[in-house]
């Protein structure tokens, strides 16, 4: 049974005890929910990074200001930085 760390309000001392079924139900995230949350965070982080870092390189490549490889490398870097679960 999982345990949790609690604080006694009267004394301020910490103690550990087993969690109740209700506590477990409200604090435990299912594996599917955890993966969905991680993937949503990665997607949001990727979108922000693409806008700030990769998109300018793409448009610079279109204007012959930098190379296609610079843009491709930046995209790969962002994908490695924010992987999907």
Strand 14-18 and strand 3-7: the pairing is: antiparallel
User: Are 5 and 14 in contact, with CB atoms under 8 Å apart?
Assistant: yes
Q: Which range of residues forms the domain containing residue 76?
A: 3-81
Q: Tell me what pLDDT residue 19 has.
A: 86
Residue 44's φ and ψ, nearest 5 degrees, are: -65, -45
Q: Is the pTM of this model over 0.85?
A: no
Give 29-85 pLDDT, tens digit per residue. 788 888 998 999 999 999 999 999 999 999 999 999 999 999 999 999 999 999 998
Q: Tell me what pLDDT residue 68 has.
A: 97
Give 3-30 pLDDT, tens digit per residue. 888 888 888 888 888 888 888 777 777 8
Strand partners, 38: none
Tokens coding 34: 């955890």
How far apart are alpha carbons 45 and 80 in whole angstroms? 12
Helices first, then strands: H and E counts in the chain: 4, 2
């Amino acid at each position: 049974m999982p345990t949790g760390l609690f604080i006694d309000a009267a004394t301020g001392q910490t103690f550990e005890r087993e969690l109740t079924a209700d506590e477990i139900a409200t604090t435990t995230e299912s594996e599917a929910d955890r993966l969905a949350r991680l993937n949503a965070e990665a997607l949001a982080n990727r979108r922000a990074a693409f806008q700030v870092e990769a998109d300018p390189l793409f448009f610079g490549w279109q204007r012959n200001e930098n190379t296609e490889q610079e843009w491709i490398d930046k995209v790969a870097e962002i994908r490695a930085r924010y992987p999907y679960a």
